[in-house]
């Protein structure tokens, strides 16, 4: 479905992103996980061609056999919304405040299908029903501010899947929402993906959410894929030192309701913060924050591929396959 090879994004002469290899099989759900500033959102937007003009994108992103990066603006616009849907982080900002819900959900339908008039409204009501919104017939005439955050995100999802895309890119779709609403939206995304055989590229900083939603995951650091593989392999048997540091930083849940012990434990952190653009160390990009760095880390680690496509780029891997 999606084959990324050697994808690079340059801004102002700095290489922000370099994804050497990343695949998303048809119908699968791939998570991109990383800290703020790791480049996960930018990777997702580069794939959808949504980066501003000053970002120079190179490499190949093969979508169903065609290289998306070889398309011009007009050709890309015919794919965007029709074959690739995009759900944004903050639904309140991603809906035009002065446009009725129905109109916004119908954008991709008007643009990419032959439906007219009444048929468009019927399709919109059907979509709003599919994303489990109450009273879709009257919702069509509402404005975004009359809806709650979770309802707005359902509207955004309805708009993104309106033209039946084969790939849905969701950029932190639940980060701006309450935890309870978050769970509903995640369930909705999973069921839509399964019903429609729709591939999902799911961007999140939350490994727990990724494990719930995705089959495969890629851990992004400094615009590079540190480690990728099935969700179980990467989360339960991490090899890259960045992945294990990220996992250790998650406090998890109290075991056996033993809150006293849980509250008393020391939280693990990754020392320092993600370097500014252009300030990454040579070789392994994580080595200045890594507890296991050695002299070898000064050269770029070559990727190692294990069983089931479990691939990592680390000179001093932890754990075992």
Partner 1 sequence: MSVTDIDTVPDVDTAIPAAPKSLWRRLRRLPITLYLGGALVSIFVFVALLSFVWTPYPPNQLNMSNRLAPPGTPGFFLGTDRGGRDVMTELMLGARNSLYVSVVSTVVAMVVGSAIGLAVAGSNRYFQGPLTRLVDAGLALPGILTALVLAAKLGPGNTTATLAIIIWQIPVAARVTIGPARQVLALDFVEAAYGYGRRKPYILVRHVLQNISPLLIVLGSVMFAAAILIEAALAFLGVGVQPPTSSWGRFLNETQALLDAAPYLMFFPGLAIVFTALGFNLLGDGLRTVLDPQQSRSGLS
Interface residues with partner 1 (CB under 8 A) are: 48, 50, 53-54, 73-74, 77-82, 85-86, 88, 90, 93-99, 107-108, 111-112, 132, 134-135, 139, 142-143, 146-148, 150-151, 156, 159-160, 162, 180-181, 183-184, 186-187, 207-209, 211-212, 235, 250, 252-253
- Find out whether 47 and 86 touch, Cβ atoms under 8 Å: no
- Long-range pairs for 274-279 at CB < 8 Å and ≥24 separation? 274/35, 274/36, 274/37, 274/38, 274/221, 274/222, 275/222, 277/11, 277/14, 277/16, 278/14
CB of 22 or CB of 147, closer to partner 1? 147
CB of 86 or CB of 280, closer to partner 1? 86
CB of 12 to partner 1, least distance (A): 13
CB of 284 to partner 1, least distance (A): 26
The Cα diameter of the chain in Å comes to 68
3-class secondary structure, 156: helix
CB of 81 or CB of 102, closer to partner 1? 81
CB of 150 to partner 1, least distance (A): 4
The Cα–Cα gap between 2 and 120 comes to 30
CB of 250 or CB of 273, closer to partner 1? 250
What's the Cα-to-Cα distance from 266 to each of 144, 245, 249, 272, 299, rounded to whole Å?
A: 43, 14, 10, 17, 33
CB of 94 or CB of 313, closer to partner 1? 94
* Cβ-based neighbour number of residue 303 at 10 Å: 15
CB of 106 to partner 1, least distance (A): 9
CB of 149 to partner 1, least distance (A): 8
């Amino acid at each position: 479905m999606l084959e990324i090879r050697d994808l690079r994004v340059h801004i102002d002469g700095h290489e922000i992103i370099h994804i050497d290899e990343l695949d998303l099989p048809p119908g699968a759900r791939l998570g991109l996980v990383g800290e703020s500033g790791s480049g996960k959102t930018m990777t997702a937007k580069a794939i959808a061609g949504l980066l501003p003009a000053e970002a120079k994108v190179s490499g190949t992103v093969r979508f169903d056999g065609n290289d998306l990066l070889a398309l011009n603006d007009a050709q890309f616009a015919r794919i965007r919304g029709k074959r690739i849907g995009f759900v944004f982080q903050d639904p309140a900002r991603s809906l035009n405040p002065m446009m009725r819900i129905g109109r916004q959900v119908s954008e991709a339908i008007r643009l990419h299908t032959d439906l007219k008039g009444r048929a468009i409204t019927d399709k919109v009501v059907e979509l709003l029903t599919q994303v489990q919104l109450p009273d879709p017939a009257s919702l069509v005439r509402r404005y975004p501010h009359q809806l709650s955050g979770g309802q707005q995100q359902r509207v955004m999802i309805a708009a993104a899947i309106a033209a039946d895309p084969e790939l849905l890119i969701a950029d932190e779709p639940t980060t701006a929402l309450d935890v309870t609403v978050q769970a509903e939206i995640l369930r909705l995304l999973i069921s839509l993906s399964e019903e429609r055989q729709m591939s999902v590229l799911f961007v999140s900083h939350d490994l727990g959410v990724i494990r719930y939603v995705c089959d495969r995951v890629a851990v992004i650091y400094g615009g590079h894929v540190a480690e990728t593989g099935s969700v179980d392999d990467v989360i339960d048997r991490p090899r890259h030192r960045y992945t294990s540091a990220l996992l250790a930083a998650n406090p998890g849940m109290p075991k056996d309701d033993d809150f006293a012990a849980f509250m008393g434990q020391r939280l693990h952190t990754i020392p320092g913060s993600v370097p500014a653009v252009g300030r990454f160390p040579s070789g392994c990009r994580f080595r200045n924050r890594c507890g296991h760095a050695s002299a070898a880390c000064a050269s770029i680690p070559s990727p190692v591929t294990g069983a089931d496509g479990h691939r990592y780029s680390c000179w001093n891997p932890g754990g075992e396959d």
